[in-house]
């Protein structure tokens, strides 16, 4: 079931988020008014359509995060409508980014608003009165061109269809990141108070491995979106476990040697081909794609040596070394402005533990959990939980920069998942509210129970001096802050019980 209720506080939080996303163009008044059930004035609408000459990216309200409740019978229609909204944003961004592929800014953004209005009206009707969405969707339909998120317009994006863009020299997505100049994601995120994400950092409720280093400043040899890991001040602390549950459970699931890759996301966009608009790497369950039902997953094989049939996946990492990938003209690849050679991981770690050593209860089968935010560049850092580092330097974690690693050191991505569960739902309307991150002391929010914490750690051999970037939605500009991971639990009851027992008794199992 994905039926969840959310109170006025959550509605207010979404209104504030929406205002932060659209404030740059003056469209925040439109959004805030629409969410409050008011109709925006003509002068507000005109202000929202004005745009300067500097290229930017397209920022729209992430409607999926606002969903509070969706009847199970309507979920398929809602998922399709949300996927259509993503397609519309991607198409609009492509029209703006590729000369000659669309009209002027006002035309493109006007057409986008019209398409979004029609889709949102369908979505609101399907989701019903408890969805958490306003009846008047005009504000949600209006998007902004965010110029503050693009550092160097000459390196704004990769070229589609395997091209070299503004030369492979300028193709590094990292340059599109939140740089030392625009730096702390709070300036470019929702508000300053959500802001420099040292506050929202990688500890406590946000659950990654230590405070973030968000503003390392300066131009590296690979561009401003990259930073030499040796110049980063150590910013993580060894976890303090006050309870007896100090054990770990590990699934050895390989390196995706069978190259299980697709641009689907069965959690967020079930039944939708190319629902992610970027390529995913998979280990574990052998059949995971957009059309994988629980029954199909349960009957599939696995790459995990202990029989764990769970689905583990994350966006691929690509290097810009002049070599085209076979998806250079395909959805999720070049057609969605993700180009370059896909790197196979050199290490994949799938580990479960208890963050503070507090006892955990077993998960339930088919529980779905996501971490990170694939749209964090435009949404802001509130749900960004991934971090980047290098082997030998993992006491130094980055959020909005790619690390430059010394010779012999691998690039590392760390994805820590929520470790509290409501004990009832295997998913929720926005795919988040049925789980939560534990507090710094390991305790869970009220009415939530502690479950094993999943950590995905993926390391790569990146050629020295070569730019690389994670796959993203086109308008997210390959920014490292958008990194994210997904998990569907397909373990047997015996394996789930074994995991919890191992962690609670302080043993190492797998």
How would you class 99 by CB atoms within 10 Å of its CB: exposed for 0-12, middle for 13-18, buried for 19 or more? exposed
Residue 183 lies in a domain: no
Asked if residue 162 is part of any domain, the answer here is: no
130/247 same-domain check: no
The reply to whether 179 falls in a domain is no
Pair 97, 210 in one domain: no
Quick one: 204 and 141 in the same domain? no
Is the same domain home to 100 and 27? yes
What pLDDT does 220 receive? 59
Surface-to-core class of residue 241, CB atoms within 10 Å of its CB (0-12 exposed, 13-18 middle, 19+ buried): middle
Structure tokens at 282: 């998979």
The answer to whether residues 122 and 262 belong to one domain is no
* 44, 142: one domain: yes
Q: What is the pLDDT of residue 149?
A: 81
DSSP secondary structure of 104-127? -HHHHHHHHHHHHHHHHHHHHHHH
The verdict on residue 171 lying in a domain is no
Residue 334 sits in the same domain as residue 448: yes
Q: Which of 124, 150, 176 is the last residue of a domain?
A: 150
Ranges of residues in the chain with a pLDDT under 70 are 1-55, 99-103, 150-221
Q: Check if the beta carbon of residue 360 is closer than 8 Å to that of residue 504.
A: yes
Residue 139 and residue 280 in one domain: no
Q: Is residue 28 part of a domain?
A: yes
Q: What is the pLDDT of residues 61-73, one digit of tens each?
A: 999 998 998 998 9
Same domain, 136 and 215: no
- The domain boundary, picked from 91, 117, 150, lies at 150
Count of domains for the chain:
2
Residue 199 pLDDT = 30
Q: Is residue 194 assigned to a domain?
A: no
Instruction: Decide the pairing of beta strands 311-315 and 280-284.
Output: antiparallel
Over the stretch 307-345, which tens digit does the pLDDT of each residue have? 999 999 999 999 998 899 999 999 999 999 999 999 999
What is residue 55's predicted lDDT score, i.e. its pLDDT?
64
Residue from 367, 245, 277, 328 nearest 88 by CA:
277
User: Quick one: pLDDT at residue 438?
Assistant: 96
- pLDDT at residue 440, rounded to an integer: 87
In a domain, 191, yes or no: no
The reply to whether 275 and 418 lie within a common domain is yes
**Do 472 and 373 fall into the same domain?**
yes
Domain encompassing residue 461 = 200-509
| Position 503 in a domain | yes
The answer on 393 and 245 residing in a single domain is: yes
């Amino acid at each position: 079931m994905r039926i969840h209720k959310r109170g006025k506080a959550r509605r207010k939080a979404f209104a504030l988020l929406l205002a932060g996303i659209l404030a740059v163009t003056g469209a925040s008044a439109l959004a805030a008014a629409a969410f409050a059930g008011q109709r925006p004035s003509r002068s507000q609408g005109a202000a929202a359509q004005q745009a300067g000459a500097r290229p930017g990216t397209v920022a729209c309200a992430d409607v999926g995060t606002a969903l509070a409740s969706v009847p199970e019978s309507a979920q398929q229609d809602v998922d399709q409508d949300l996927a259509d909204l993503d397609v519309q944003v991607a198409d609009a961004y492509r029209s703006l980014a590729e000369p000659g592929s669309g009209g002027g800014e006002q035309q493109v953004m006007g057409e986008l608003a019209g398409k979004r209005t029609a889709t949102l009206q369908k979505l609101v009707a399907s989701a019903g009165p408890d969805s958490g969405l306003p009846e008047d969707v005009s504000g949600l339909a209006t998007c902004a061109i965010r110029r503050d998120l693009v550092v160097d317009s000459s390196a704004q994006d990769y070229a589609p269809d395997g091209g070299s863009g503004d030369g492979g020299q300028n193709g590094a997505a990292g340059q599109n990141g939140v740089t030392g100049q625009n730096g702390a994601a709070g300036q470019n995120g929702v508000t300053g108070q959500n802001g420099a994400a040292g506050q929202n950092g990688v500890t406590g409720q946000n659950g990654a491995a230590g405070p973030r280093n968000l503003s390392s400043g300066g131009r590296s040899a690979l561009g401003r979106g990259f930073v030499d890991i040796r110049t980063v001040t150590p910013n993580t602390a060894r976890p303090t476990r006050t309870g007896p549950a100090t054990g770990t459970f590990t699934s050895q699931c390989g390196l995706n040697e069978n190259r299980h890759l697709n641009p689907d996301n069965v959690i967020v966009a079930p039944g939708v081909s190319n629902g992610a608009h970027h390529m995913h790497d998979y280990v574990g369950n052998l059949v995971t794609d957009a059309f994988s039902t629980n029954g199909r997953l349960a009957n599939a094989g696995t790459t995990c040596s202990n029989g764990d049939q769970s689905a583990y996946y994350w966006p691929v990492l690509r290097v810009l070394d002049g070599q085209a990938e076979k998806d250079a003209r395909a959805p999720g690849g070049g057609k969605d402005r993700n180009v370059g050679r896909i790197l196979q991981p050199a290490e994949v770690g799938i580990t479960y533990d208890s963050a503070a050593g507090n006892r955990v209860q077993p998960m339930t089968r088919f529980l779905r959990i996501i971490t990170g935010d694939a749209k964090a560049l435009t949404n802001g850092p509130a749900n960004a939980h991934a971090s980047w580092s290098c082997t030998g330097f993992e006491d130094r974690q980055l959020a909005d920069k790619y690390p430059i690693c010394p010779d012999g050191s691998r690039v590392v991505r760390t994805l820590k998942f929520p470790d509290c569960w409501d004990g009832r739902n295997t998913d929720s309307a926005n795919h988040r509210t049925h789980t939560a991150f534990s507090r710094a002391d390991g305790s869970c929010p009220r009415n939530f129970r502690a479950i094993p914490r999943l950590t995905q750690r993926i390391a790569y051999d990146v050629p020295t001096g070569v730019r690389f970037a994670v796959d993203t939605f086109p308008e997210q500009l390959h920014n490292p802050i958008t990194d994210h991971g997904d998990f569907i639990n397909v373990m047997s009851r015996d394996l789930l019980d074994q995991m919890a027992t191992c962690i609670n008794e302080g043993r190492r199992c797998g």
